[in-house]
Amino acid sequence: MKRNPNMTLLQDGYLFPEITRRKNAFLSNNPEANIISLGIGDTTRALPTCIAEALADSANALADSSKYTGYGPEQGIGALRNKIAEVIYKHSVDANEVFVADGAKCDLGRLQMLFGSDVSIAVQDPTYPVYVEGSIIQGVSKIVRLPCNSDNHFFPDLDSAERTDLIYFCSPNNPTGAVASREQLQALVSFAKKNKSIILFDAAYASYIQDPDLPKSIYEIEGAKEVAIEIGSFSKLAGFTGVRLSWTIVPKALKFDDGTSVHADWNRLMTTLFNGASNIAQHGGLAVLEKNGWQAIQEMNAYYLENAAILHRALRELNIQVYGGHNAPYLWARFPGRKSWDIFQYLLEEFHIVATPGSGFGDNGEEFMRFSAFANRENILEATERLKLCCGAELL
């Protein structure tokens, strides 16, 4: 059996397992080190009781033969599709345009399968690695990187951008924490329309947008339903990174160039390769979108945003240039002239802090570190105290 040649094109390890490997290597020589993880964006707050109870009730119902359920609809249970359309999208999308799934990453992989290998793609650089690496696994060879840096306010220069079939776009952005304005998203939608491209809009961090002028969904932009698919997730919205629940919106108005329906093909693919998200997770998702659950997760999101604000202040006090962290759970800190893996190692060894090296997100991430605000407050405060000890001098 020959190895899939696409696999040979990937770099050695995926970013986050590599970070864990280095952290564990350090820990094996320094077992007493109290490491604070501000690396992978993994939620740490306990679930609100009303949501945990809904998960438990759903699990318990499986032990009752009168309530037991097996497979559900591949697209997700109707009540949850309705509730997503109502609570998240205020009915700007139809419930049958909502496809519930087991995680944004999984749906990204299936979307890559939907479009196949004979496509060109564009990504922001820096970018969430799954867009690029999943496409490479799929056999995509034409990958255009659109530089996003402080000079262009982390929004690509669309006037000079090359046309591609697909455009991946993430706002609030992972990793930079930049949030695209309404005007910027309007420009992106016009660009996609002009070029007959499809936007894959990753809205996994949309719940962190507090500024009412900033769009939470691409569908707030007129005409977006003809050019965009949106991926949403309960992971960062509600602390479901381990529970696993997400959704993808595939509008009925979205067509391939031969006029056939993308929605119909997505439905075909999902009913073939997916048997629906866990019924337990879906009942948890329903509880998130009920009044009490929704209120509780606003508090959870506000907690992480306060963490981001604390980190932001601490980095600024050290005279470190820092972006993001407002309306977003990630901070993007610049260390001019330094290699980000060197900074990673320095933070790990000297301060026992793990952050994510920016170069893991693309060439434009070199000199940057990403700090995640998904930690407990004590750890955030302790990390800021440790960072203050260095007065910033060694970091700059």
Residue 106 binds ligand MLT (CB under 6 A): no
Nearer to ligand MLT, 156 or 175 (CB): 175
The H or E element containing residue 286 is helix 279-289
Window of 37-45, 72-80, 301-309, 386-394 that interacts with ligand MLT by CB under 6 A: 37-45
The CA-based angle 280-281-283, given to 5 degrees, is 65
Under a CB-based contact definition with an 8 Å cutoff, are residues 211 and 180 in contact?
Answer: no
Residue 316 binds ligand MLT (CB under 6 A): no
In the numeric block, which tokens belong to residue 259?
A: 């006029």
Residue 41 binds ligand MLT (CB under 6 A): yes
**b/e for 143-167, b at 16 or more Cβ within 10 A?**
bebbbbbeeeebbbebeebeebbbb
Nearer to ligand MLT, 133 or 290 (CB): 133
Nearer to ligand MLT, 118 or 363 (CB): 363
DSSP 258-280: TS-BHHHHHHHHHHHH---S-HH
Residue 164 beta carbon to ligand MLT: minimum distance, rounded to whole angstroms: 23
Per DSSP, the three-state class of 201 is: strand
Residue 244 beta carbon to ligand MLT: minimum distance, rounded to whole angstroms: 11
Q: In what order do the strands lie in the sheet with 142-147?
A: 98-101, 246-249, 228-233, 198-202, 166-170, 120-125, 142-147
Nearer to ligand MLT, 76 or 365 (CB): 365
Torsion angles phi and psi, residue 131, rounded to 5: -60, -45
Residue 174 beta carbon to ligand MLT: minimum distance, rounded to whole angstroms: 5
**Pattern 63-92, binding to ligand MLT, x per CB under 6 A?**
------------------------------
- The CB-nearest residue to ligand MLT is 41
Under a CB-based contact definition with an 8 Å cutoff, are residues 358 and 173 in contact?
Answer: no
Selected binder of ligand MLT within 149, 164, 174, 217 (CB under 6 A): 174
Which of 109, 216, 130 shows the shortest CA–CA distance to 171? 216
Q: Could you tell me which residues come within 8 angstroms of residue 133 by beta carbon, excluding any fewer than 6 positions away? A: 10, 14
Window of 34-42, 156-164, 165-173, 345-353 that interacts with ligand MLT by CB under 6 A: 34-42
Nearer to ligand MLT, 89 or 361 (CB): 361
Under a CB-based contact definition with an 8 Å cutoff, are residues 88 and 297 in contact?
Answer: no
Nearer to ligand MLT, 158 or 305 (CB): 305
Selected binder of ligand MLT within 22, 105, 163, 377 (CB under 6 A): 105
Catalog residues that contact ligand MLT under the rule CB under 6 A. 40-42, 105, 174
